Chain A
Amino acid sequence: MTQEQMKSAFLEELTKVAPDLEIGAIGDDDHIQDDLELDSMDVLNLVAALHARLGIDIPEADYVRIATPALAADYLVGKLAA
């Protein structure tokens, strides 16, 4: 999966968890909690959704690595390749 494809997948799952957001209005460096106002339960749901879609386990300590779409795309592509 390319970086771009991964970012789209991430954004799709993100907007399913938080449908108040529109994909087009989300910046690559928007912080999902500080800028997009997800709460900690949203983050858990997002992690579960990413696991269901991609089969990737994201341990608690790595939540900071999916804090923005750009970071998440990097991290998830890396995890998938590993």
Chain B
Amino acid sequence: MFGAIRKESGGTRGASLPNPDEARKTFTWEVAEQMLDGLPGGHLNIAHEAVDRHVAQGHGDQVAIRWLGKSEHHHDITYAELAERTARFANVLMENGLERGDSVFALMGRVPDLYVAALGTLKAGLVFTPLFSAFGPEPIRTRMEIGAAKALVTTETLYRRKIAKWRDEIPSLKLVLIVGEEAPEGCVALDLAMAAEPPDFEIARTLPEDPALIHFTSGTTGRPKGAVHVHKAVLYHAVSGRYALELTPGTIYWCTADPGWVTGTSYGIISPLVNRVTMIVDEAEFDLDRWYSTIQREKVEVWYSAPTAIRMMMRAGDAAAKPYDFSSLRFLASVGEPLNPEAVVWSNRVFGRPFHDNWWQTETGGIMIANLAAQEVRPGSMGKPMPGIEAGIVERTETGLKELGDGEIGELALRPGWPSMMRTYLHEQARYDKCFVDGWYLSGDLAMRDKDGYYWFVGRADDLIKSSGHLVGPFEVESALIEHEAVAEAGVIGVPDETAGEVIKAYVTLNPGFTPGEELEREIRGHARKKLGPAVAPREIVFRNTLPKTRSGKIMRRLLKARELGLPEGDISTLETDET
């Protein structure tokens, strides 16, 4: 057991919510709206709230983004420069014939143009979708097809490696912008195009309910789902950044998440800029000394990271952290998957502050349940619902939903209506509707609430896999595997891993004429990595003669997993053919 980390001594001082329990009772959305400016006539645009209004209010010289390149190169972008560059970007979109509501995709690493593209797209009234640059060609293509991408912003390397071959097969795609001053045939060089455009742009008068962002997330079956978020979401980005992450104007803030995932957009672009912080953006991947040096040199005050990285730091041990000065840190938060209690306690010892775990999903658009600065931290718990958010633990019954009491395990559910809630799954209203029962949004996560109102994650209610904080749908992985000529069938599960939370493991059966072996295992894994990228491809493949299946022919992943973990097999009444 790990004791609670109390906050009497200094932790609550200066907290945005000095008394969270009281704030939960008195919170109203009307008061929260005072954090935003809005546009005349009831219009609302995220880019205005995040950038332009700060310039208008005299903060143009403040650094918005301190960009740390992979090499030693550092580069500051002020709010005024960001306003100008996003205006030029918006002009480029218009100049190329794009229209309000069109879909703009970005595929690139954490370079300044990514941030300009996101905010410039919103400024122009178009809809932005970030993709993870380590995705293989297949997940990229699927998402661009579903989202009917009109424009893509990417780099020359990524374009040649992952896009060029099939670019002409996406009929909706009109414009490919390439970062830099040169572009392959049929593409436009972004730097040149932006230089040719004026530095101002009349911001699109979007309505609060106009679509702004589409984030793709995985389903257990079928294709990835595009969760649609609207401009009104910015209200929740403002509020939750302030209360759950302690983002106040001028704060030096580092979110380590990539904007290819929802955290990197909600809390790596929008929320921090709306709260007028100075964001640290590091182009490089995790590197222990680089990270510790960054905190020390940049005097990072608020740090939002993820369990996989935190566990890697922990493995390196206390001694590796010893030479560094972490005294600038005032608040640490973690998201992506549950943070194990050992890591919470470890961080409190090494950094002098604990990581505050919080919970949310692509669909919720923002942090729903959190350990707040002025609230006792119970290591291993995701905390309590945010002000304005009503959560519950429910059970699906034949007649509807039953709310469960403290200490009972059930599905974590939320009362719909907060501003950053998804408004639909793109072209999939039926799948969207299925998320709501009896006035609750069902998260698909199993959890328990203790008698003091803290929530504790228990597991997923479905077959989705959480690897290094990324939600991976087994179906997408299985589909790529069976495209290999040797593979007849595939079942994909997540197996526990002390660093990544879960890693992806595949069970496959082979077509006649193929023999299991190390070489074939590697060949299939290589095939999957090429199609899916390293984050989504299985790390391990095992061969079976048959897979456990139901009468309707569905592979029982649940059974594969129970056996892998040595757990009870549960109800196997629908099992028709078993694993051999």
Contacts and interface: CB of A to CB of B under 8 A. Distances in A.
A19 B286 contact: no
Nearest to A60: B316
A40 B286 contact: yes
A38 B534 contact: yes
Interface in A5-31: 15-16, 18-21
A63 B285 CA distance: 12
B313 to A, nearest CB: 8
Nearest to A15: B522
Interface of B: 70, 134, 285-289, 308-309, 312, 315-316, 320, 467-468, 499-500, 503, 522-523, 525-527, 529-530, 533-535, 539
A16 B309 CA distance: 24
A41 B316 contact: no
A37 interface: yes
A74 B535 CA distance: 29
Nearest to A64: B287
Given A59-B316, A63-B287, A41 B134 contact: no
Given A59-B316, A61-B316, A39 B134 contact: yes
A45 interface: yes
Q: A-B pairs with the 4 shortest C-beta distances?
A: A19-B526, A20-B529, A19-B522, A60-B316
Interface in A45-82: 45, 59-61, 63-64
A19 B312 CA distance: 24
A33 B109 CA distance: 12
A29 B373 CA distance: 46
B285 A16 contact: no
A63 B527 CA distance: 27
Contacts of B468: 39-41
A34 B70 contact: yes
B312 A60 contact: yes
A41 B315 contact: no
Nearest to B133: A37
A19 B499 CA distance: 22
**Which of A16, A34, A40 is packed against the most chain B CB atoms within 10 Å?**
A40
A41 B499 contact: yes
Contacts of A64: 287, 289
A40 B469 CA distance: 13
A71 to B, nearest CB: 14
A40 B539 contact: no
